[in-house]
């Protein structure tokens, strides 16, 4: 079976679907996020205890130490979806080899030629300053990815437009 085709994967401040027309409105695309992170702590699996479902290192950032950058949205468009198809999204630091969030979702289509559009609200993109990758995985392999730079800034939070 062939893999799905990703026609678009756009990170934005908001993605809305107009109820009257069915069109998606993508507002405020970005690839850089300036946020105020004062401190972060990296925990290894042993320090979390045996009851934890997380594997490998994780990052802990106190909500008091991160400015509210809001929750961004993600727009994706696919073709070649055959029936119920499962994907995973993950946001990972490229310099520290840490996954700061990961989640699963399904897409369904009976016609592999039809366009399947998906809009999703993401959790806050937070962590220490550095380069991150937002990865879309299918059957354990990266199908698409977007690079996001998190910068520490003493001022207000802001997002920079994609190039």
Mean pLDDT across the chain: 81
Contact 87, 19 (CB under 8 A): no
Residue for token digits 């994907």? Answer: 87
Residue for token digits 């401040």? Answer: 13
Whole-angstrom distance, CA of residue 143 vs CA of residue 158: 28
Whole-angstrom distance, CA of residue 158 vs CA of residue 33: 6
Residue predicted with more confidence, 77 or 97 = 77
What is the mean pLDDT of the segment spanning 30-42? 67
pLDDT value of residue 36: 60
* Domains observed in the chain: 5-35+70-160 (2.60.40.1930)
Residue predicted with more confidence, 161 or 144 = 144
Residue for token digits 């559009």? Answer: 117
What is the mean pLDDT of the segment spanning 92-109? 90
Residue 102 has pLDDT above 80, yes or no: yes
Other CB atoms within a 10 A radius of the CB of residue 34 amount to 19
pLDDT value of residue 153: 67
Q: Write the pLDDT tens digit of every residue in 12-25.
A: 999 999 999 999 99
Whole-angstrom distance, CA of residue 16 vs CA of residue 19: 9
pLDDT value of residue 1: 65
What is the mean pLDDT of the segment spanning 108-117? 96
Whole-angstrom distance, CA of residue 55 vs CA of residue 118: 28
DSSP code of residue 128: S
DSSP code of residue 20: T
Whole-angstrom distance, CA of residue 3 vs CA of residue 106: 14
pLDDT value of residue 146: 95
Residue 154 has pLDDT above 90, yes or no: no
Among 81, 76, 84, 94, smallest CA distance to 136 is for: 76
Q: Write the pLDDT tens digit of every residue in 56-88.
A: 555 555 545 444 456 899 999 999 999 999 999
């Amino acid at each position: 079976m062939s893999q799905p085709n990703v026609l678009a994967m756009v990170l934005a401040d908001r993605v809305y679907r107009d109820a009257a027309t069915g069109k998606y409105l993508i507002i405020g695309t970005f690839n850089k996020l300036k946020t105020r992170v004062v401190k972060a702590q990296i925990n290894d699996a042993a320090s979390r205890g045996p009851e934890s479902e997380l594997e490998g290192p994780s990052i802990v950032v106190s909500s008091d130490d991160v400015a509210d950058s809001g929750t961004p949205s993600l727009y994706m468009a696919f073709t070649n979806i055959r029936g119920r198809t499962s994907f995973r999204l993950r946001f990972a630091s490229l310099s520290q080899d840490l996954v700061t969030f990961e989640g699963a979702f399904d897409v369904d289509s009976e016609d592999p030629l039809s366009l399947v559009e998906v809009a999703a609200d993401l959790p806050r993109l937070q962590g220490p300053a550095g380069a991150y990758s937002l990865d879309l995985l299918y059957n354990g392999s990266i199908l698409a990815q977007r690079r996001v730079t998190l910068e520490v800034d003493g001022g207000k939070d802001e997002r920079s437009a994609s190039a």
